Amino acid sequence: MILNRRHLLLGATATLAGCDRLAGNERFREALFSAENFHKWAQRTLMTRDAMAREFRPDQISPRFRANGTANPNTPEYKAIWRTGFADWRLRVDGRVARPLSLSLAHLHALPHREQITRHDCVEGWSAIGKWRGVPLRPIMEAARLNDRARYLVFHCADDMGGGSAYYESIDMVDAFHPQTILAYALNDRPLSVANGAPLRLRVERQLGYKQAKYLMRIEAVDSLSAIGGGKGGFWEDHAGYDWYAGI
């Protein structure tokens, strides 16, 4: 035959190089990235608004829960609130709300809570199952009297991602008001460890790990994501090109 393995390898590599060049083209890139819109539309069409993420039995919990993202924010500010056992920490809820809130950990502990054993799916491919306890986000946003024009909630975090930029993520109101969307303060019956986002992290169970913002400092209600970071709604969305809709 005319083709040998070397030619095939060269051909495969050349085709892939062609694909890489194509992905460098701005318009092709846009088309490629727009698949996110199709997946979001398709998934939201196929599921009811309150369709639940799978909840597991206690015996299905991962023996050791692998933490994702930052292992320790290690900033002076974070160390200061950590040293006092987060007694001085406050969660601010502001932006497009009629009644901005400032909530202490004790206050959050006193609110009605929800427990859920769910699977954490990292965008890299691994999964870990853990039992979360926390406060549903919905009553908090209702207490803050969310403005009708607010379309997204932005979560500002304490971990410095380099260059002075702290981690941030955002969700829309479909996920904000989902019954399993909670602000978690405990994992597997113990207070959140630093690696897992102490003192408080978001759980949005129908989406991937990078949505589960840790070290929460502030929830900001906005009507557009364009003024947040690079405008794509999250740190990895802006810096690595991840999809904003992480249900895929």
8 A C-beta contact, residue 246 and residue 175? no
Task: Assess 64 for contact with another protein (CB under 8 A).
Answer: yes
Task: Assess 71 for contact with another protein (CB under 8 A).
Answer: no
Task: Assess 19 for contact with another protein (CB under 8 A).
Answer: yes
DSSP percent split of the chain into helix, strand, coil, nearest 5 = 30, 25, 45
Return the residue of 7, 39, 83, 145 that touches another protein, per CB under 8 A.
39
Task: Assess 148 for contact with another protein (CB under 8 A).
Answer: no
Of the pair 55, 94, the CB lying nearest another protein is at: 55
Count residues binding another protein (CB under 8 A).
54
Of the pair 167, 236, the CB lying nearest another protein is at: 236
Return the residue of 71, 106, 126, 200 that touches another protein, per CB under 8 A.
126
Smallest distance from another protein to CB 228, Å: 19
The 8-class DSSP code of residue 97 comes to B
Task: Assess 224 for contact with another protein (CB under 8 A).
Answer: no
Of the pair 72, 75, the CB lying nearest another protein is at: 72
d(CA 207, CA 247): 4
Residue 149, C-beta contacts closer than 8 angstroms, at least 6 positions apart: 96, 223
Return the residue of 71, 87, 110, 240 that touches another protein, per CB under 8 A.
240
8 A C-beta contact, residue 111 and residue 135? yes
Helix (H, G, I), strand (E, B) or coil at 235: helix
d(CA 232, CA 78): 26
Task: Assess 51 for contact with another protein (CB under 8 A).
Answer: yes
8 A C-beta contact, residue 225 and residue 235? no
- Which stretch of DSSP H or E encloses residue 186? strand 182-187
Smallest distance from another protein to CB 89, Å: 28
Q: How many CB atoms lie within 10 A of CB 175?
A: 23
Task: Assess 102 for contact with another protein (CB under 8 A).
Answer: no
d(CA 130, CA 188): 6
Smallest distance from another protein to CB 194, Å: 18
Of the pair 172, 223, the CB lying nearest another protein is at: 172
Two structure tokens written together for 233: 């709604």
Name the residue among 61, 52, 82, 95 with its Cα closest to residue 182: 52
Return the residue of 91, 197, 207, 228 that touches another protein, per CB under 8 A.
207
Site residues (vs another protein, CB under 8 A): 1, 9, 12-13, 15-17, 19-20, 23, 31-36, 38-39, 42-43, 46-47, 51-54, 56, 60, 62-64, 66, 119, 121-129, 205-208, 236, 240-243, 246-248
